[in-house]
């Protein structure tokens, strides 16, 4: 059943097979909001059946389900989770993306996005995690997409195509020309660029093209800050 698609507003039946052991308090089924778990059932035999109701306005996306109990030794026992994809049965009338356009500051910079569907009666629903959503870059050499994150891969302009069922919108993405050390894309290397490195100090680079990782060692650290200071356009990394 894991990976099955379920329409909101309906119920599903989940079968739990109980492995050998004694579970005196019974077995329950848990999930995350807004889905509600199922109450404990006493173990009689090796198979239990639970009914889970999917509220009508559940946000589309994957929801984990797992069985839980306490064994005879008092130790909590959890099953491996399964995932159900909840989807709406109706079509949206419009689609929008937040933000509706992006200017990424430097190669390696990344930002999350949220996709909203407008449904009947003007109801806005987050469909970012929907299995129906397809997000692609028209030029992956400029901007790449992974899950709900857009990342700058190279300088230039492109569009991110966001499709939910039969509706597609385009999100313009701009990545400034790459000047080594110019992390905010304003054409000079100054204190503003240094501040970007200092804000990320002692964190991992987000990929081999992260422009903050000036020595390409996979880390953003004081060595990168030192290199950037040497690249500043004006003495003291002044803006002018």
Nearest to 64 by CA among 42, 34, 31: 31
pLDDT at position 1, please? 60
Domain that holds residue 42: 4-87
Q: Which pLDDT belongs to residue 219?
A: 95
Q: Are residues 12 and 82 in the same domain?
A: yes
Average pLDDT over residues 94-102: 95
Domain check: are 83 and 10 in the same one? yes
Does one domain contain both 81 and 99?
A: no
Residue 181 lies in a domain: no
Instruction: Name the β-bridge partners of 152.
Output: 143
Domain contains 209: yes
pLDDT given at position 122: 82
E-only strand ranges, 45-183: 47-53, 61-70, 76-78, 82-87, 94-98, 102-103, 110-112, 114-118, 124-126, 133-137, 143-146, 149-152, 156-164, 167-175
Where is the domain boundary, 34, 63, 87?
87
* 118 occurs within a structural domain: yes
End-to-end CA distance of the chain: 63
Residues 135 and 196 in one domain: no
Final residue in a domain of this structure, among 39, 56, 87:
87
| 98 lies in the same domain as 117 | yes
> Which CATH number covers residue 105?
2.60.40.1080
pLDDT of 195: 95
List, for residues 1-48, the tens digit of each pLDDT value. Answer: 677 899 999 999 999 988 777 787 889 999 988 988 888 888 888 888
Q: What's the pTM?
A: 0.78
Shared domain check, 143 and 105? yes
In 3D space, the residue among 189, 97, 186 whose CA is nearest the CA of residue 135 turns out to be 97
Q: If we measure between CA atoms, which residue out of 13, 2, 15 comes closest to residue 67?
A: 15
Q: Please check whether residue 57 is in contact with residue 123, taking contact to mean a CB–CB distance below 8 angstroms.
A: yes
């Amino acid at each position: 059943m894991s990976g099955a698609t379920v329409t909101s507003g309906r119920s599903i039946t989940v079968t739990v097979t109980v492995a050998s052991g004694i579970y005196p308090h019974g077995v329950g089924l848990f999930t995350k909001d807004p889905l509600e778990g199922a109450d404990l059932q006493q173990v009689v035999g090796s198979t239990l059946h639970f009914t889970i109701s999917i509220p009508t306005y559940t946000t589309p996306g994957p929801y984990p389900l797992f069985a839980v109990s306490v064994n005879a030794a008092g130790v909590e026992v959890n099953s491996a989770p399964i995932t159900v994809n909840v989807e709406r049965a109706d079509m949206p009338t419009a689609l929008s993306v937040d933000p509706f356009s992006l200017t990424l500051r430097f190669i390696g910079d990344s930002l999350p996005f949220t996709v909203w569907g407008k449904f009947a009666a003007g109801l806005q629903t987050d469909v970012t995690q929907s299995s129906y959503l397809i997000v692609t870059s028209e030029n992956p050499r400029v901007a790449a997409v992974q899950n709900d994150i857009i990342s700058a891969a190279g300088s230039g302009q492109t569009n991110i195509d966001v499709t939910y069922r039969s509706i597609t919108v385009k999100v313009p993405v701009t990545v400034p020309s790459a000047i080594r050390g110019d992390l905010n894309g304003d054409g000079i290397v100054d204190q503003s660029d240094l501040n970007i490195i200092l804000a990320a100090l002692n964190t991992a680079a987000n990929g081999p093209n992260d422009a903050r990782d000036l020595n390409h060692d996979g880390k953003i650290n004081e060595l990168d800050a030192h290199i950037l200071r040497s690249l500043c356009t004006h003495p003291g990394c002044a803006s002018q």
